[in-house]
Chains A and B, each alone.
Chain A
């Protein structure tokens, strides 16, 4: 093993950019509050904050899921760049806290236009919502949100600590086996919790309850597909950036190829769920169910609906199909950015076409992009900080050699 740079130094421009983007976010927040925050319950303002915080929380958290899933399957290709996924998942801490504060403000602020089940009087008169009131209630929402974000942070912290714990101590063969086993145990615990949150209850609670009468059991998997694809895209962008800055000497086209394959495969998985949810409702044509697709498929959001399909399925399908494009740094960077934007748009129509938010026109404007850029800045700042703080290579990991000579 030749020599490599153990620590990464954040370039000054990177710091300026992340601080600049965060400033843009804060300015957007203030301007947005002045413009939208005071009248009409501030629905537009809070919906934008919720859309962005939930989306960026889910994609940073997907980095930890990716890391745990690979650990659990004893995958080795990730080891050369696993510090990047760890650093991204550290951004779950600030974004999780922000997201929690926003959700609590919505729930305790009584924003009935976003969550119509908050309106006690209306729920009492509504058969359907009365049946659901055990699930869609302030105590359950609060407790589940605390548990969700809290355990993501705690278990993520545990995985990162476990990874750093062997940085100074080379392992013998037996110790290595024990270390791998311990890793898989914690990864498994994380994945069980992830399955109960992102792949089951949490999207129902945070996002699907915007249309309180409507439900789809597939909704959470569809959310999972969305956040996993964009999570891998986020990892890829950071891997390519850090590689460009001279860190991650051992990452090469083989690793890039694998990340590209993940994006390709899970774009198809996303589309499969997205289409199934649509087709079953379209086919059965029951009015309680089609109400969800009325604004999205026939109404104001039809443009976003088709754009979504083109960006998130047609583009990755055709562009990532060739082996050469998955091994091309430029193409992969472009596709990663496109996918993150595409799934941001996907979440946008999930939130904003909600029955009381804005089903009749698309209120997308600079405010949404400003808040999104603020979160991008926050992710950049936290990821760069954590990545620079610790060694860039997990040099004592038993699978390191396997990862360096990785061949797809």
Chain B
């Protein structure tokens, strides 16, 4: 990742936020992300995000779990250590189903959890820049990325016109990096100037 320049617009009302997103997108600005205190229905559609591929990953993990269970039990009961249990045959599919089911669920749950954390850049000892701390409380934050073609002042004026209540510019690392929130000397330093 790289350090980039962002224009941050702060909104206090989702009724203003939705049309603002529409206008910003149709004006052609590049929205880095929108941070909200709670999940908002329809936000993904408004932002034009593609469907997550988390469930595809989950399916693959599940299949892996099924295969692991069946091959594992099959190998143990047929070639490694065959035991006569209640006179049943060694290849005993119905008896394996509960364990197969459990391993399928376990693999897909753990795998999806870790994948989800990776996709959201969540992990211990990982730091990410916060554009606006109050977006965990009562404010909606729209972050627009400045590319080499965009004019910063123009974006600020545009955000003002669509109803942002606070606008500032920040130069920040866009991705995550190794670091700790509790150890940082200036953990939540604002790297920009408030304008409005």
Contact = CB atoms under 8 A, between A and B. Distances in A.
B4 interface: no
Contacts of B22: none
A282 B59 contact: no
Contacts of A323: 51, 55
B55 A285 contact: no
B97 interface: yes
A282 B94 CA distance: 8
Contacts, number: 18
Nearest to A278: B94
Contact of B41 (A278, A285, A407): A407
B157 to A, nearest CB: 33
Interface in B72-112: 86, 94-95, 97-98
Given A321-B59, A323-B51, A323-B55, A283 B41 contact: no
Given A285-B86, A321-B59, A323-B51, A407 B94 contact: no
A407 B44 CA distance: 11
A279 interface: yes
Contacts of B94: 275, 278-279, 282-283
A367 to B, nearest CB: 34
A278 B59 CA distance: 27
B124 interface: no
Contacts of A285: 86
B28 interface: no
A285 to B, nearest CB: 7
A283 B94 CA distance: 8
A60 to B, nearest CB: 32
Nearest to A406: B41
B42 interface: yes
Contacts of A278: 94
Interface residue range, chain A: 10 to 19
Contacts of B95: 279, 283
Contacts of B41: 405, 407
Interface in B15-68: 41-42, 51, 55, 59
B49 to A, nearest CB: 14
A275 B97 contact: yes
A278 B86 CA distance: 17
A272 to B, nearest CB: 9
Contacts of B59: 321
Nearest to A254: B41
A278 B95 CA distance: 11
A278 B94 CA distance: 9
A323 B54 CA distance: 12
Nearest to B43: A407
A285 B59 CA distance: 35
A275 B93 CA distance: 12
B97 A279 contact: yes
B109 to A, nearest CB: 15
A278 B51 CA distance: 39
Contacts of A283: 86, 94-95
Interface string A282-302: 110100000000000000000
A286 to B, nearest CB: 12
Contacts of A321: 59
B42 A407 contact: yes
Interface in A264-318: 275, 278-279, 282-283, 285
A282 B95 CA distance: 9
A407 B18 CA distance: 16
Contacts of B51: 323
A234 B86 CA distance: 44
Name the residue in B41, B42, B51 with the highest tally of chain A Cβ atoms < 10 Å from its Cβ. B41
A21 to B, nearest CB: 40
Contacts of B42: 407
Nearest to A283: B95
Nearest to A276: B98
Nearest to B56: A322
Contacts of A275: 94, 97
Contacts of A279: 94-95, 97-98
B97 to A, nearest CB: 7
10 contacts: A275-B94, A275-B97, A278-B94, A279-B95, A283-B86, A283-B94, A283-B95, A321-B59, A323-B55, A405-B41
Task: Rank and list the top 3 A-B pairs by shortest CB-CB distance, nearest first.
Answer: A407-B41, A279-B94, A282-B94
Interface of B: 41-42, 51, 55, 59, 86, 94-95, 97-98
Given A275-B97, A283-B94, 9 more contacts: A275-B94, A279-B97, A279-B98, A282-B94, A285-B86, A321-B59, A323-B51, A323-B55, A407-B41
